[in-house]
Amino acid sequence: MALEFIKDITIRKHYLLKLWWDRKSGFLEQSGWIRSFEERKCVDADGQPVPWLTYSLNKILDNRLGKEVKVYEFGSGFSTLFFAKRVKHVYTIEYDKKWYDLLIGQLPENTTIDFSEFEQPGYVANIIDVPELFDLIVIDGRRRNECAANAINKVAEGGVIIFDDTHRDKYREGTKLIEDLGYKRLDFWGFVNGSIDLKCTSVFYKANNILNI
């Protein structure tokens, strides 16, 4: 059936997805999108863990992170495993107990994971309690605006902040807090593993930063 005759938007999306899926040498295969969709986990084409961030940003992180970098994540996951292979140490706070229990046995020695229900003060305050400044802070959990308010006080010189899903209006308060401190913003629009929705992940940075942007 010709695409112009398909009126229902949902059917059209699935039709286009099938066209892309059948191209095994194309983007969906090479990026790991298909494997992530089939296995229901965020991995690349080789099955290695990757962050659930836009592909273009993941490529930069893969190429530019160094072993001297210290990372803090609001929200743990396959990104934690990804960062642990590339940086000095990863600290993360998780609010989902089942996911915390599943992940903790897979983490290498250079990771520190804490648990707190997101309704509790300890969730957003955890980063303050860690006696470190961080080269990379990832805001990708719950209560992101409040997390941003604490994150801005824990960035090391040359450090950057990654704020996921900045296409959502509800996160403008948090992103404005960061920009008001003189951080520049670079938006990475695109797809993420296992999803056909367009989304935005933003990097906030100053001069001479760890990602060289």
CB atoms within 10 A of CB 176: 12
pLDDT for 143-175, tens place per residue? 999 999 999 999 999 999 999 999 999 999 999
pLDDT for 28-62, tens place per residue? 777 777 787 888 887 887 889 899 899 999 999 99
- Per-residue model confidence (pLDDT) at position 36: 74
Domain 42-205 has CATH 3.40.47.10: no
CB atoms within 10 A of CB 188: 20
**Amino acid identity, residue 112?**
T
| Residue whose C-alpha is closest to residue 203's, from 93, 83, 61, 90 | 61
* pTM for this prediction: 0.86
In the chain, domain spans: 1-30, 42-205
Residue 195 pLDDT level (bands cut at 50, 70, 90):
confident
What's the distance, CA 9 to chain centroid? 28
